[in-house]
Structures are given as structure tokens and as C-alpha cells.
Amino acid sequence: MASSTVIAINVDRERVALAPPDSSKSQKKKLDRFYCQTIASILNQKPTNGHDMRKLIHSVKVGVALVLVSLLYLLGPLYKRVGENAMWAIMTVVVIFEFFAGATLSKGLNRGIGTVLGGGLGCLGAAFAQAVGGVGKAIVVGIAVFIFGAGATYTRQIPNIKKKYDYGALIFILTFNLVVVSGLRADQVLELARDRLATIVMGFAICIFISLLVFPIWAGDELHHSLISRFEDLALSLEGFSKEYFENDNHREKKSSANFSSKCKSILHSKAKDESLVNFARWEPWHGKFGFSYPWGKYLKIGEDLRDLAIIILSLKGCHDQSSEILEESVKEACEGIIASLAWTIKELGESIKEKSKCRYEEMIVPKMKPVRIEVSAIVNPFALETCLENSDGLGFASFVHSLMKMVEKLEELAKEVEELGQLGGFHENS
């Protein structure tokens, strides 16, 4: 047993001796090369679309802003002036730097107004409590905290204030309570409030400078392009519906049904996005095609009309599924022409907003809609009504025609809204 053990040890030693001396170094080089290639592939990976690029730009901008505001801590002379209050500047950057420039402006101004009002009233409350002195000091502070806290909380529930100034009211409550309560124990409450306000202003200035001047991302542009894309989606949905149900094809593909239905459903969920973008766009300064007092509110009304059209398009599919094949053949050509005209009109309206040119409702839209109305009315002729009554699927046909008529009326309302947008927004005349 002992001799066999010695032989095994000698064999291991020979193996160790025969192994290359720098094998571990070669493995380390391979690992380093692998990691370098992986990192390089990540860095060289291009964004899939423009939105991904904007996300990358926003992330870099936030990083730069944090580096700049951290200099208040890192540089000795600046730290001596602001001290521990530099943390408020860092918190300001983290809290108010948003993706869109309008959102950053909105939160920054709300934070500034809330800080000034809360700090000013807090200082007055603390000074008054100090003047009262004794037990009355705590009573005065308690009453002030209750009145201003309850009042500010109530105002946050008012819809108009909640949309624009909810964050400012929240900061007011926070700042007022901090200042007025700290005034009971701190003798230098005015100096404390002044230093904190100064650092908050520093953080706000850095955010605004980078957000507005370094590759700005405008909420107005996002809202404008989003609205245009919905016009295109509606037109494509109508064309997809026509191809699926009215083309002479024995092998109809039902995939297009899911396609145009998904486009319409995505439009139905656009209300919250529109409202937030309009709120941010109203805070933004003049930029590009959009000047001061641009009618952003019209975008909400147009978006509502587009959602109504999306509902009607979805109802067309349900109504058509209930109609008979014989009835479909009798009105197929007329329906194809009507839907093609409606899709063309939607594209024209979207193009006028895209190019910021007046749509000329009386000159272009009315002449196009008038024959469409006549065609829809022609479908509901006495013969077709008699066929409807005799056919068990006649209700589906009647609902289908009603939906077409409803779409024509809604599209005329939409055209008027687009025309008003062109007048209020200063669109140029279409040559």
C-alpha cells in the first residue's frame, strides 16, 4: 500500500512537471479577450429605433447632470460654502430630471414654487411661534401644520390643480412642515432655509440647462408624431378591413383581422398618454415648428375623435360577420368605394397635420364626403331593405350601413377640428 502511494505521488509530480509553466497565464488571456469582446459587442450594438436612441441620450444626460451636481461635494471650495446642503441639489436632479423637457420644466418649477412658498410660510410660522414663546409656541406650530397641511392636501384633489401643480403642492407640504417644526429647535432657521433653497436652485439650473440645450427631447414633438401615426393606423385599418372582407379571394387570410384590430385597440388606449403629453408640452418654450400659445388642447379633441373612429372600425367587423354572403356580393363594390374614400380622407387629414398645412375643409373634404354620403344612402334602397327583412342576417347589414354613416359623420367632425387646428396653429396654405 505504501509503495503504491509513493508511485502515485511521483506520477502526479511528473504530470505537474510536464505541464506548461504558463498555462494559467494563457487561460487568463483567453478570459480577458472574451470579456473585452463581449463589452465591445455591447458598446457597438446599435439601437433598434429612434426611441431607443432617445433613451440612451436621456440616460447619458442624467449621468452628466449627476456628475456636475456632485462637484458641490467633491470640490473643497464649493463644499465649504454649501456644506451638507449639497445633498439637496443631488436630490433635486434625481427627482425632477424627466425624459421630456416639458416634464423636467414642470417638475422643476413646481418644486421651486413649492419650496419658496413652503419655506417662506414656514419661516413666518416659526418666527411667530418664537414670539409667542412658552407652551403657546408648540400650540401655534401645531395649528399652522394642521391648517396648511389640510388646505394643501385638499387643493391636490381639485382636478385642474392636480394635473399641473400636484407635485408643487406636495413639495409645499413637505417644506412647510420641515421648516416650521425645525424652527422650534433651531435658532438659525432662516439661514438653513436659504442654504437649502440655494442648493435646490443649483440642481434645478443644471437640469434645465442640460434638458433644454443638450439634445432636448420635446413632449410636443412626441405628441405631434404620435397623432400623425394614429391617422396612418386608422387608414391602414380601413384598408385592411376592405382587403379581408371585400376582395375576391378564396383564401382570405384572417391574420389581417388581428392586425387592423390591434391597431384600433392601441388607439383606444391613447387617452392617458395624450393628456400627459399635452400637459408637458404646455410648459415647453418655443421650439422648432411650435411657437408660444400653440393650441395643444386641440390635440386632445382630435385624439378623442380618432378613438371614436377606431370604435366604429371595430364595430364594422362585428356587423359584417353577421351579414350574409349574398348580401355582401350585392353591395360589395359600393362598400369598397366608400371605405377607400374614407381611408383617403383620413390620410389627407393626417398629412395636413404632418406638413402643418391647412386642410381646406370646404374645398377638399366636403366634395369628397358628399358622394360618399350618396353612395351610403344608395345602399339602403327599397330593394336592399326588402332583402334585409327577408334575410335572417339583415340586422347585421343594417348595423353595418349605420356604422358607415356614423363614420362619415364623425370624419366630417374630425375634418372641422383639423381645420380649426390649422387656423389656431398658423398652418400655411396648401399650394
Domain boundaries, the chain: 52-213, 219-425
Question: Topology of domain 219-425, per CATH?
Answer: Methane Monooxygenase Hydroxylase; Chain G, domain 1 (1.20.58)
Burial of 420 (0-12, 13-18, 19+ CB in 10 A): middle
CA distances from 63 to 89, 97, 102, 170 (A): 14, 11, 19, 26
Looking at residue 1, what is its pLDDT?
Answer: 40
Please give the grid coordinates belonging to residue 92.
433635486
Looking at residue 251, what is its pLDDT?
Answer: 43
Looking at residue 6, what is its pLDDT?
Answer: 40
Looking at residue 189, what is its pLDDT?
Answer: 63
What sign results for the dihedral spanned by CA atoms 227, 230, 232, 234?
negative
CA distances from 279 to 160, 284, 322, 334 (A): 11, 9, 43, 43
Looking at residue 132, what is its pLDDT?
Answer: 83
Please give the grid coordinates belonging to residue 255.
391574420
Please give the grid coordinates belonging to residue 99.
425624459
Enter the DSSP assignment of 361: I
Residues 54 and 143: their CA atoms lie apart, in Å, by 48
Q: How many CB atoms lie within 10 A of CB 79?
A: 15
Residues 153 and 9: their CA atoms lie apart, in Å, by 81
Looking at residue 99, what is its pLDDT?
Answer: 93
pLDDT in tens, the chain (431 residues): 444 444 444 434 444 344 454 555 555 555 455 444 543 443 344 444 556 788 999 999 999 999 999 888 778 777 777 777 788 888 889 999 999 999 999 999 998 899 889 888 888 888 888 888 777 888 888 899 999 999 999 999 998 888 889 999 999 999 888 888 876 555 566 677 777 788 888 889 999 999 999 999 999 999 999 999 999 999 888 888 777 766 654 444 444 445 667 888 888 888 999 999 999 998 888 877 787 788 998 999 999 999 999 898 888 776 655 555 545 555 677 777 888 888 888 988 998 898 888 877 667 777 777 777 777 776 665 545 555 555 545 566 677 777 888 888 888 889 889 988 888 888 877 65
Distance of CA 256 to the CA centre of its chain: 28
- Residue 335: which residues within 8 A CB-CB, separation 6 or more? 242, 246, 379, 404
Looking at residue 51, what is its pLDDT?
Answer: 62
Looking at residue 264, what is its pLDDT?
Answer: 82
Residue 174's nearest CA partner among 135, 200, 203, 137 is 200
pTM of the model: 0.76
Give the total residue count for the chain. 431
Looking at residue 75, what is its pLDDT?
Answer: 80
Residue 414's nearest CA partner among 305, 338, 340 is 305
